[in-house]
Structure 1
Amino acid sequence: MLTIGMLGGMSWESSAEYYRLANVLVRERLGGLHSARVVLHSADFAEIERMQVEGRWDDAAKALAGAAAQVQAGGADFLLLCTNTMHKVFDQVQAAVDIPMIHLGDTTAAAVKAAGLATVGLLGTGFTMDQPFYRERLESHGLRVLLPSPEDRATVHRIIYDELCLGVVRDESRRAYQDVIARFDGAEGVILGCTEIELLIGQADVPLPVFPTTRLHVEAAVERAIQSTL
């Protein structure tokens, strides 16, 4: 079995879900006492979040590139960047290591296309929704990506940083997200484009098909990791 590298801690709430899912999926595929081989680096998210707010993306890229090199040195065969927003610096991180990275946007787009859909709504942090790096990656796969209104984007962003990243899950916030999704005009499905959003809502909460990026990312990683054992 290959060793999965995880560059996490942004926030650790979602990184814990990455680790849990990897082990659950390996056990489901291989049975018995099997678990995932994982090397995990967990960043101090307060430092990364400060760089985000201050627009210091080059500094964030350098910090994550250094962490990625540590993960590679720890024995990882490939790497996951366990956050949608920081895929803004994906190319810089990939350039710092010799092992391949699985792009979260690619795994998500593949799932949307496999479901036969072409137009999707995108939820995520303000950075992910407002800036083109993530949307353009999805669009490069032929998808049409819809965004919430500016007011709804502010609501989605606030709940992520003020609640979900702190482990706070509120029914009121779930209803707020459901209202945002209901206002998507023409969406055939919804991308949960922030790893913490899956702590708040899932398919049972939304009438449209949802695409949980964390699970899709981990599923792709587990498939790659166990190829040599099947």
Structure 2
Amino acid sequence: MVQQKVIGLIGGMSWESSAEYYRIVNETVRARLGGLRSARCLMWSFDFGEIEALQHAGRWDEATAELVSAARRLERGGADFVVICTNTMHRMADDVQAAIGLPLLHIADPTAERIRAAGLSRVGLIGTAFTMEQDFYKGRLASRHGLDVLVPAAADRAEVHRVIYEELVQGRALPASRKAYQAVIARLVERGAEAIILGCTEIMLLVRPEDSPVPLFDTTALHAEAAVDRALAGL
């Protein structure tokens, strides 16, 4: 009997969104295979307080070493491929991939593929300041997938980032913050965004389709579903 591939999940950044990964992966496997079927997966879950401190101190080399260690643990545990359950930490995706003998499923790729399949090319990106301002994410969207990526203005970027770290990663989704995100999205649409990428895995806890006049592409769901695609390939 051919078995599912084992999904190696690097989670805990934050655990709120990692729980969504686990839910989506298992619900998708059950929907596709039926009955009592669920995903074959492993998860290494970080203490996010430690990772967040490294992020905001700019100690990216140390953060990279932590992710490499997690990926190697999953490899030793029997994972067939690795999924980093956060957008921001894809800053070190290439380093993680180079350090292990397993494929790494990059979060930007299934997102971009779905956007291109919808016939769209100009997108707004909201996420942490690291994701919006550094090139590791929007650069991949542009160079590998031909997308024109817009990010919010500085004040909007600051508010989007604040809400993620002060509220969403702590499990809080406040009505005032939802309104603030609606306004940020509206301004991106005014600048020509044909769609919005929810480029932080916690944003789906706050923003819903009715909050945007253009399609939303939720990286959490798209990444988790792509992991299932890979796990079930060949069955």
> TM-score of the superposition, structure 2-length normalised?
0.96
Between the aligned partners of 1:144 and 1:28, the Cα distance in structure 2 is 34
Secondary structure in 1 aligned to 2:155?
A: helix
What is the correspondence of 1:12-161 to structure 2 with a 5 Å cutoff? Answer: 12-140=15-143, 141-161=145-165
Kindly state the Cα deviation for residue 143 of structure 1 after the two structures are TM-superposed.
0.3
Between the aligned partners of 2:194 and 2:83, the Cα distance in structure 1 is 28
| Unaligned stretches of 5+ residues in structure 1 | none
CA displacement, residues 33-52 of structure 1 (integer Å, 9 cap, x when unaligned) = 00001100001111111111
Between the aligned partners of 1:136 and 1:84, the Cα distance in structure 2 is 13
CA displacement, residues 144-194 of structure 1 (integer Å, 9 cap, x when unaligned) = 000101000000000000000000011111111000000011000000000
What is the correspondence of 1:169-180 to structure 2 with a 5 Å cutoff? Answer: 169-180=173-184
Correspondence for 2:229: 223
CA displacement, residues 7-66 of structure 1 (integer Å, 9 cap, x when unaligned) = 010000000000000000000000000000110000111111111111111110001100
Correspondence 1:164 to 2:168 = yes
Paired residue total: 229
Secondary structure in 2 aligned to 1:76?
A: coil
Between the aligned partners of 1:35 and 1:64, the Cα distance in structure 2 is 26
Q: Give the AA of the match of 1:143.
A: L
Kindly state the Cα deviation for residue 74 of structure 1 after the two structures are TM-superposed.
1.1
Q: Give the AA of the match of 2:132.
A: M
Between the aligned partners of 2:142 and 2:106, the Cα distance in structure 1 is 14
Secondary structure in 2 aligned to 1:64?
A: helix
1:123 touches 1:129 (CA, 8 Å); kept in 2? yes
Between the aligned partners of 1:17 and 1:97, the Cα distance in structure 2 is 25
Indicate the larger mover: 187-196 or 89-98.
89-98
Q: Give the AA of the match of 2:210.
A: A
Between the aligned partners of 2:224 and 2:170, the Cα distance in structure 1 is 22
Between the aligned partners of 1:226 and 1:89, the Cα distance in structure 2 is 27
Alpha-carbon RMSD across the aligned residues, in angstroms, is: 0.7
| Unaligned stretches of 5+ residues in structure 2 | none
Correspondence 1:198 to 2:201 = no
CA displacement, residues 91-150 of structure 1 (integer Å, 9 cap, x when unaligned) = 111112111011101111111101100000000001101111111010011000001010
1:2 touches 1:228 (CA, 8 Å); kept in 2? no
1:66 touches 1:96 (CA, 8 Å); kept in 2? no
Kindly state the Cα deviation for residue 204 of structure 1 after the two structures are TM-superposed.
2.5
Provide runs of 4+ in structure 1 moved above 4 Å. none
Between the aligned partners of 1:3 and 1:211, the Cα distance in structure 2 is 26
Secondary structure in 2 aligned to 1:148?
A: coil
Between the aligned partners of 1:2 and 1:202, the Cα distance in structure 2 is 31
> TM-score of the superposition, structure 1-length normalised?
0.98
